[in-house]
Amino acid sequence: MAESKADLTARAPYVEMRRISKSFLGNAANTDVSISVRHGEVCALLGENGAGKTTLMNVLFGLYGADSGEILVDGKTVSFRSPGDAIRAGIGMIHQHFTQVTTLSVLHNLMIGSRGRFRFLLDRKAAEKKARELMDRYGIELDLSARVSTLSVGQRQKVEILKALFRGAGILIMDEPTAVLAPQEAETLFDTLRGLVRTGASVILISHKMKEIMRASDRVYVLRHGKLVAERATSETTPEELAELMIGQPLSKPPRPATPSGGEVVLRAENLRARKRTGKPALDGVSFSIAKGEILGIAGVSGNGQTELCDVLFGMAVPDEGTVSLCGDSLSLGAPLGMIRSGMARIPEDRIGTGLLMDLSIEDNMVLPRIGSGEFCGKFGVMRKKKIASYADGLIEKYSVKATGRLSVARSLSGGNLQKILLSRELQSAPRVIVASQPTRGLDIGAIQFIHSRLFEERARGVAIVIVSDDLDELLDLSDRVAVISGGKIVGEQSRENFDRNRIGLWMSGVAS
C-alpha cells in the first residue's frame, strides 16, 4: 500500500547534497551547493548552460568525486567512487541519449549488468517475473519480448526507466527526458513519473522546458554560475520569476512580427527520396515550398527523416530522386560550398561535430567559409590579420559571445556560446534562405530567446527560414506554417491561424492521417 503524501513528506530526505564543491583545472563548476530531495517528489534543477547542473548530478551519480561536501541517502552519509556505488545506493541516472542494445529484446536490455542466483548465470525466468512486478507496480506497459529497435522513442524512454527500477533505483535523475518525444509521448512519460512518486520514488528533473517544470515538479532549485541562488515551491512561483533567477535579470520574449501573405517562393523541394546510411528508406517523396519572409517549421519525432532532409538541403547528401531550387534556379545537390554561394545559411543539428571546428579559435571559426575571399586574404594568400581580428571582435560583441577573447579555442565554450558563433558566421553573409536544424537544442532560456530574436530579425528582412526541431512548443512559437514528417513523408500541414497542437502531435506519433 502506497504511503500518503503527508507520510512521505514527514520522512527524512531521500537524498541530501550538503555544501558540494567541484572544480576543474581551477575553474569552479559547483560552489557550496546544498539540495535535498524528499521521498515521493519531483525536484527540478534549473540553470543556464554552464551553471553546474550536470556536474552536480554527475557527483551524485558517482561519475565525479566532489572536492568537498557530503552526500546522504536516507540520512546516512555515503561515498561514491563510481556509478556502480550510486546504483547500489538506489540512485539511477537516465541520460538524454539512451544506452541500449537495440538488437536485443527489452528483457535482455534489463538483464545486462545483472547477476542471477548463481552469480555468473543469468536467470531469465526470475528477471521476467521481477520486470512484470515492477511494470504492474508503476503502471509501465512494455512488451518484454520486443526488440528495442522496433520500439518508438517514447517506449524506449520507458525501457530506460524500467531498467533503472530493475536495478533498484528509488531516485531517478532525468536529463532532458522529453527532448525527442512527441507531445502525447511526453504526457505518457509524466503519467509514469506520477506513478513513481506515488509509491515513494523520487525524481530529479533537468529540463529547459519551463512548461514541463511548472507542470511536473514539486520544488525547483536554481543554479547560476555554479552556485545555488534560489529554491522555490513550484506552486508558489512563475515561469517569469524562474527565468529571471536563472539569468539574473528580467527576460522579455521577443515580439513576433506579423505573418506575411503571398510572398514569392524562395526555396522549393520536390519529390525528395533518400536513404539512411543503413540503406533503409529515409525520405519518401518529400515536397514543400517556402516563401520570402516566411518561417516553415518541420515537426516530427526524431528519426523520421529530418536528419536526411537537412543533409540534402545542406548539400551534404545526394538524394536518390528529387530536386531543390532556390529562387527558381536548380541547385547542384551534394555540393555544400555551392549551397552557401547560392545564398543558403546552414545551422546543422550537431554544432560540435558538423558546424564548428572545435580545436580552432573563435576567430578562425567565424571567418572559415570566407577565408579565401578578398576581404580577408590578400595577394599570394597572405591573411589580413587585422581585418580578421576586427571582424571577429565585432561579431563577438554583436552576438554577446561570452569568452576571454577571439583567440579562445571553441572547445572551451558552452553550448549556447558555440551556437552564437555558428549563428553569427552564417547570418553575416546576408543569406536568402536559412535552414536551421535543432537551433536551440540543449540551450538555456536566455540563449534560446536570443536565437529566436535573431531569426525573427532575419524573417523581417525577407529571409525564408526552415526550422527543423523536436520541440513542438518552439515550432508553434516561431512558425508561420508547420509541416509534420513521419516515416519519411509529409503527413500533414497547418498554418498559424489553424494550429491544433493535439492534431499535430497525433501526426508526429504516426497515428493520424
pTM over 0.75: no
User: What contacts 288, CB < 8 A, 6 or more positions away?
Assistant: 268, 269, 296, 483, 490
Q: Please give the share of the chain, as a percent, with pLDDT higher than 70.
A: 92
Decide whether 5-98+152-247 matches 265-343+431-509 in CATH topology: yes
The predicted-structure confidence for 486-510, as pLDDT tens digits, reads as follows: 989 999 999 999 999 989 988 988 7
Q: How many CB atoms lie within 10 A of CB 442?
A: 17
Q: What is the Cα–Cα distance from 241 to 247, expressed in whole angstroms? A: 10
Q: What is the Cα–Cα distance from 142 to 160, expressed in whole angstroms? A: 11
What CATH architecture applies to the domain 265-343+431-509?
A: 3-Layer(aba) Sandwich (3.40)
Instruction: Count Cα neighbours of 228 within 13 Å in the Cβ-side half-sphere.
Output: 18
Residue 68 near residue 76, CB atoms below 8 Å: no
Judge whether residue 118 has pLDDT over 50.
no
For 301, the 3-state DSSP assignment is coil
The per-residue pLDDT for 281 is: 85
- Specify the CATH class of 5-98+152-247 in words: alpha beta
Q: What is the Cα–Cα distance from 464 to 265, expressed in whole angstroms? A: 9
As beta bridge partners, residue 205 has 44, 174
Sheet holding 202-206, edge to edge: 91-94, 171-175, 202-206, 42-47, 219-224, 227-233
Give the closest residue to 270 by CA, choosing from 282, 294, 286, 283: 286
Judge whether residue 192 has pLDDT over 70.
yes
Mean pLDDT across the stretch 456-460? 91
Cα separation of the two ends of the chain: 43
Which stretch of 198-207, 249-258, 340-349 has the lowest confidence by average pLDDT? 249-258
The predicted-structure confidence for 120-179, as pLDDT tens digits, reads as follows: 456 788 889 999 998 888 778 889 999 988 887 778 888 888 888 888 888 999 887 876
Sheet holding 27-37, edge to edge: 27-37, 15-24, 68-73, 76-78
The per-residue pLDDT for 61 is: 93
Give the closest residue to 110 by CA, choosing from 130, 89, 137: 130
93 to each of 306, 379, 459, how far by Cα in Å?
28, 56, 40
As beta bridge partners, residue 219 has 43, 233
What cell does 375 get? 576581404
Confidence category of residue 265, pLDDT binned at 50, 70, 90: very high
**Domain residue extents for the chain:** 5-98+152-247, 265-343+431-509
Judge whether residue 338 has pLDDT over 80.
yes
User: What contacts 193, CB < 8 A, 6 or more positions away?
Assistant: 42, 203, 216
Residue 311 near residue 490, CB atoms below 8 Å: no
